[in-house]
Structure 1
Amino acid sequence: MVCLALTIGWFLYRAGDDATEILTRNALMETMGRVGQAIDRQTMNARESLNAVAPPPVPPVNPGEKPAMLPFPKDRKQLEERLWVANALFSDPSYVYFGGADGSFLGIRQESASVFMYSVREPEDKNYVYYLRGPGTEMKLTAVQDYEPRQRPWYIQTVERGRETWSSVYTDFRLKFLAINLSKPVYDTDGAFLGVVNSNIGLGQLTTFLQQLPMSRNGVAFVTELNGGMVATSLNEPVYEAKGTEFTRLNALQSKSPLVRQAFAEVQKYLVDHRPVPGQLMLLNASGENGKAEVVFRLHHDEAGLDWLAVSAAPRSDFLGPVAGGIYQTLMLGLVAVCLTFIIGFMLLRWVLRDIRKLTLAAKSIGNGSPFPALNIDRNDEIGQLAQSFQEMERNLRTDRLTNVLNRDSLIAQIEFRRRNSSQANPLHFALLFIDLDRFKAVNDEYGHDEGDKVLVTIAARLQHALRHDDSVARFGGDEFVVYLHGVNEIDVARTLADKIRHAVNKPIDGRDGNQYIVDASVGVSLYPEDGLDVETLLRMADSRMFDQKRLHRILSV
């Protein structure tokens, strides 16, 4: 009987430990999905602001033709208009400017909602700095500087590389926040070098986002450069140190949080022997002052030189409470049952392990994208509460909380599940539609985020209504959606369905005070397996085609 009691305790401990590990990892993966979206939005804003000033070539309609080059404005007024447009893409402080190959300079810096700095330099002249409240308002001269753009590091580095280039993260000494530059060389239609356009974005919004993330009691999320230099953190601690007029970037290993130091040390140890795949989630185990912890990290890399590590970590003890309570209560019942009769104890063992096994299988299904099994656990104790928590977690992990459609990680997991279960006898074909809403920002800016959220909920409902039973729709963040079209293997069919979806999206939406909002959609299409054999490749292909369509919409609307 003693052996039986010990066996019960051992099985319960192992099952609880497995369930806790899976719960912790799934919660961290959900967090990393949101952090990745925030980083993508931050970097995409910088790139789109450069494209607003110096648009990339328009792809040819017919194969073999050269891309169409949009002429760069040589008139200062036209360039100024583009800089104003680029600044309008940001909600937080930004600086967009152009340094000409002849030494000229023109830049507009947004310092707050209604305060802008305007800098202008003619070749071989001084740089004049003005302040104004917006386009066309009175300008007040505040400074005259000796400033040569061609001698600045951002100009020299971009000319040497000959392509888009990220700077290192640095501290803006005047406004006191972290920032980063994205620079891009500009050429005339005949290939002559004209200068460098630069977008300077603040990174304070990233820390604000991390600090608002729902985390476990002791969980952390942070972003660093490869050397550990802190970019953003979910903790209420600085990412740089100020001593008088000098600012020093802090390293993750200098954090006051033992979990941050422990998590980054584990990531560094892994990077010594492994080369991570950009965009791929990596799972690590760690042990420290607070016992066992789970660490998840992802390398964010692009060809312009950005290399950031997004890391999230949480102790297993944060998720152990409900599981431990169920284990202790069930163990006591088992011991009492063993003392009464061997038969009753054996039956109780099977009953307990059956429910714990159900919870473990359910937790694994959340991680691998397979259908969530029916638990059928009707209990009023901690295990029953844990079962209800599993079902609630399944809804939270797999769906977007605002629109109630699938989220990014859930859609990818479901697609990977279908791929794993396909075969030569039963091949898998599908299409992905990458949808980005046009004119949505105008609703947010003019009527507020509540009305913007109402538009997103309505669009999500329309997308679901327009799909077939086996199709799926997911919100990828902001105003971006992805639609999975099962069984579609022809581009014409996918485009027909994309047109149907676009018509459903651009119908008027009733808003507050009798207002009606009309948004449109740019849709990019990719086919599996013709356009790629993995989801990330298909998404990039559909995203690229969506941006081609968006640029075409902009050109046609001018």
Structure 2
Amino acid sequence: MVCLALTIGWFLYRAGDDATEILARNALMEVMGRVGQAIDRQTLSARESLNIVAPPPIPPVNPGDKPAALPFPQDHKQLEERLWLANSLFSDPSYVYFGGADGSFLGIKQESANVFMYSIREPEGKDYVYYLRGPGTEMKLTAVQDYEPRKRPWYIQTVASGRETWSSVYADFRQKFLGINLSKPVFDTEGTFLGVANSSIGLSQLTTFLQQLPLSPNGVAFIAELKGDMVATSLNEVLHEIKGNAGEVVRLNAQQSKSPLVQQAFDEVQKYMAEHHLVPGQLVMLGARSEGSKIEVAVRLHHDEAGLDWLAISAAPRSDFLGSVTGGVYQTLLLGLVAVCLTFVIGFVLLRWVLRDIRKLTLAAKSIGNGSPFPALNIDRDDEIGQLALSFQEMERNLRTDRLTNVLNRDSLIAQIEFRRRNSSEANPLHFAMLFIDLDRFKAVNDEYGHDEGDRVLVVIAERLQHALRHDDSVARFGGDEFVVYLHGVTDADVARSIADKIRHAVNRPIEGRDGNQYTVDASVGVSLYPEDGLDVETLLRMADSRMFDQKRLHRMLSV
């Protein structure tokens, strides 16, 4: 009887420990999904602002033809219009400018909501700096300075690389925050080098986002460069200091953080990177011990061809999630011991009953992590395990669906596709199409009528997308005004494009808004097929995203 009681206790302990580990990892997965979306939004805004200033060539319709290059503005007035438009993409302070190969310079910097700095330099002349409140407002001259753009590091670095290039993270001395530049060489339609376009963005918004994340009581999330210099953190820490009369910038390193959990998490990531290759975009889960307690660490490398290499890291002690499991486990252990003391038979029955429910919770938690269908728990109890079962069902809804539109979120759709790929075989091959949808004219609704009306539009669009699909298809919101549709069993590109046209017509119908207003948005849709266009989800998304941008550029050209 004593051995049986110890066995019960051991199995209950292991089941509780496994459930706690899975809860901690699933919570970190949700956090990492949100952090990844924030990084993508921040970097994409810089790239899109440069595409407004100097649009990339339009891919040819016929194979073998040359891409169609869009002409670059030949005078300051046209270039200024593009700079104002590029600046409108940002809600926080930003700087968009162009340095010409002839020494000319034109830049517009947003320093606050209604304060802009306008800087202009003629070839081989002085640089004149003005302040104004917006396009067409009165300009006040504030400085005349010697400024040679061709000698600046961003210009020299971009000319040397010959492609889009991220700068190192730097400290903005006036605004007192960290920032980063994305530079792009500009050529005319004949291929002659004209100069360098640059977009400077502040990174303080990333720290604000991390500090607002729903982390566990002792959890942390931070973004760092490969050597550990911090970019953003969920903690209240100063990320850089200016020291000495020379103004030397000293960055906070993860190993110097005041949080032992941050130091431990970065040490675990470094150990992993010393032995394994960290694949960009892949989420890696690590377990470790910190002063005797178990912690969970999640890391994802964000990399692009322009030279960006950031580590997004989140960590949490398992003890943060222990309270939701141990109460039910300890109570059940006590019931098991009492049952063993009464009779062997009653104890054995209770043992099977207890382990069955906890095993259901463990399997349910694993299904959330690997994207498989969520099993029916059928747990009808009033104790902590019953409450935990309800929590699992609520967590499944929160992890897999977008809270605003009630469709799938990015990580959930990817997990479900990966689950179907793992379960496919030669006898039962998997075929599907993927549609990447970006809403056109949606920003105008947000700007003119407010974010509440913009949210109303997103909810209606999500409902229309769901109604336009079959039972086996899925739709997910990827963030902002982007959606992705999974079309199960579609093997023909023409079929996928016809469905895309159907979706576009559904989106294009007027939407009833507040006070009798009607909103009309459009959609640009890119299509990719599995396995013809790629064997993994990220490749398919990039292909569909690229084709979507091709369609968006075509829409813009046709609307001009």
TM-score by length of 1: 0.99
2:379 maps to 377
| Map of 1:393 onto structure 2 | 395
8 Å CA contact retained: 1:127, 1:144: yes
Structure 1 residue 231 corresponds to structure 2 residue 231: yes
Aligned equivalents of 2:215 and 2:457: distance in 1?
Answer: 28
Which shows bigger deviation, 303-312 or 416-425? 416-425
Cα distance, 1:241 vs. partner?
A: 2.7
User: 1:335 and 1:425 mapped to 2: Cα distance?
Assistant: 50
Residue in structure 2 matched with residue 532 of structure 1 by the alignment? 534
Distance 2:23 2:66 in 1: 52
Determine the structure 1 residue equivalent to 2:513. 511
Q: Which amino acid aligns with 2:255?
A: L
Distance 1:367 1:533 in 2: 21
Counterpart Cα distance in 2 of 1:56 and 1:295: 39
Cα offset, 1:424, TM superposition:
1.6
The aligned residue for residue 26 of structure 2 is 26
Q: Which residue of 1 is the match for residue 332 of structure 2?
A: 330
User: What does residue 262 of structure 2 align with?
Assistant: 260
Say if 1:32 and 1:312, in contact at 8 Å, map to a contact too.
yes
1:380 and 1:235 mapped to 2: Cα distance?
38
The answer for the alignment partner of 1:344 in structure 2 is 346
- Deviation sequence 1:527-548 (CA, Å, 0-9, x none): 0111111111101100000011
Matches within 5 A, 1:537-548: 537-548=539-550
Whole-Å Cα distance in 1 between the matches of residues 520 and 291 of structure 2? 55
Q: CA 1:256–1:290 in structure 2 vs 1: closer, same or farther (change >3 Å)?
A: farther
| Structure 1 Cα separation of the partners of residues 532 and 173 of structure 2 | 50
Give the CA deviation at 1:247: 3.9
Alignment of 1:79-94 (within 5 A): 79-94=79-94
* Equivalent AA in structure 2 for residue 70 of structure 1: L
Residue 50 (structure 1) shift: 0.4
- Structure 2 counterpart of 1:482, one-letter code: V
Q: Whole-Å Cα distance in 1 between the matches of residues 527 and 323 of structure 2? A: 46
Report the residue type matching 1:557 in the other structure. Answer: S
Per-residue deviation, residues 88-119 of structure 1 (Å, max 9, x unmatched) = 11111110000011111000001111111000
The CA distance in 2 between the partners of 1:387 and 1:54, in whole Å, is 54
Quick check: 1:219–1:314 contact (8 Å CA) kept in 2? yes
Partner of 2:2: 2
SS of 2:67's partner is coil
- Quote the offset at 1:290 in angstroms: 6.9
RMSD, aligned CA: 1.0
Contact residue 258 and residue 289 of structure 1 kept, 8 A: no
Task: Give me the whole-angstrom Cα distance separating, in 2, the residues matched to 1:13 and 1:30.
Answer: 26
Alignment partners' CA distance in 2, 1:421 and 1:247: 52
Equivalent runs, 1:281-430 vs 2, <5 Å = 281-289=283-291, 291-430=293-432
Structure 2 Cα separation of the partners of residues 312 and 488 of structure 1: 37
Matched, 1:121 2:113: no
- Cα distance, 1:447 vs. partner? 1.4
The CA deviation string for residues 293-350 of structure 1, in whole angstroms up to 9 with x for no partner, is 1001000001100000000111111111021001110111111111111111111111
Residue 480 of structure 1, aligned match among 482, 487, 493: 482
Counterparts of 2:62 and 2:3, CA distance in 1 = 77
Query: In the alignment, which residue of structure 2 is the partner of 1:439?
Result: 441
> Equivalent residue for 1:75?
75
Q: Secondary structure at the match of 1:392?
A: helix
Rounded to whole Å, the distance in 1 between the matches of 2:423 and 2:271 is 35
**Distance (Å, rounded) in 1 between the aligned partners of 2:210 and 2:508:** 33
| AA at the equivalent of 1:197 | A
Q: 8 Å contact 1:398–1:406 — kept in the other structure?
A: yes
Alpha-carbon distance in 1 for matches of 2:206, 2:494: 40
Per the TM alignment, residue 517 of structure 1 is displaced from its structure 2 partner at its CA by 1.2
CA distance in structure 1 between the partners assigned to 2:408 and 2:168 by the alignment: 35
User: What is the aligned partner in structure 2 of residue 212 from structure 1?
Assistant: 212
Matches of 1:239 and 1:435, distance apart in 2: 37
Q: Who is 1:65 aligned against?
A: 65
CA distance in structure 2 between the aligned counterparts of 1:448 and 1:291, rounded to whole angstroms: 47
Q: More deviation in 246-255 or 431-440?
A: 246-255
Query: Equivalent residue for 2:159?
Result: 159
Aligned to 1:48: 48
Find the aligned partners of 1:458 and 1:437 in 2 and give their Cα distance: 12
Deviation at 1:249, TM superposition (A): 1.3
Per-residue CA deviations over 1:140-179 (Å, capped at 9, x if unaligned) read: 0000111000000000000000100000111100011110
Q: Which ranges in structure 1 are unaligned for 5 or more consecutive residues?
A: none
Task: Give the alignment of 1:450-469 within 5 angstroms.
Answer: 450-469=452-471
Distance, in Å, in 2 between the alignment partners of 1:199 and 1:13 is 54
CA deviation after TM superposition for structure 1 residue 253, in Å: 1.1
Give the counterpart of 1:275 among 268, 274, 277.
277
Describe the SS at the equivalent of 2:378: coil
Distance (whole Å) between structure 1 residues aligned to residue 341 and residue 330 of structure 2: 17
Q: Which moved more, 1:242-251 or 1:77-86?
A: 242-251
Give 2:186's aligned residue. 186
Paired letter, 1:136: G
User: C-alpha separation between the residues in 2 aligned to 1:179 and 1:540?
Assistant: 27
Structure 1 window deviating more from structure 2 (221-230 vs 289-298): it is 289-298
Identity %: 85
AA in 1 matched with 2:86: A
Shift of 1:243: 4.7
User: How many aligned residue pairs are there?
Assistant: 558
In 1, Cα distance between equivalents of 2:239 and 2:382? 46
Q: 1:139 & 1:553 partners in 2: Cα distance?
A: 35
Tell me, what secondary structure is at the counterpart of 1:395?
A: helix
Post-superposition Cα deviations, 1:272-302, rounded to whole Å, max 9, x if no partner, equal 1222110001111121137101001000001
Matched residue SS, 2:90: coil
Q: Distance in 1 between matches of 2:380 and 2:214?
A: 29
- What one-letter code is carried by the residue in structure 2 that aligns with 1:28? L
Are the aligned partners of 1:290 and 1:315 in contact in 2 as well (CA < 8 Å)?
no
Shift in Å, 1:248? 2.0
- The answer (yes or no) to whether the contact 1:173–1:247 under 8 Å persists in 2 is no
Q: How far off its partner does 1:418 sit?
A: 1.0
Q: Which amino acid aligns with 1:556?
A: L
Structure 1 position 508, deviation (Å)? 1.1
Structure 2 unpaired stretches of 5+:
none
Tell me which amino acid in the other structure corresponds to 1:111: E
Name the SS for the 2:322 alignment partner. helix
In 2, Cα distance between equivalents of 1:250 and 1:284: 24
Work out the CA distance in 2 between the residues paired with 1:248 and 1:207: 18
Which secondary structure state, in structure 2, belongs to the residue aligned with residue 256 of structure 1? coil
Paired with 2:90 and 2:435, the residues of 1 have a C-alpha distance of 26
For the pair 1:102 / 2:102, whether they are aligned, the reply is: yes
Q: Secondary structure at the match of 1:39?
A: helix
Q: Distance in 2 between matches of 1:376 and 1:290?
A: 37
1:552, 1:44 → 2: CA distance?
20
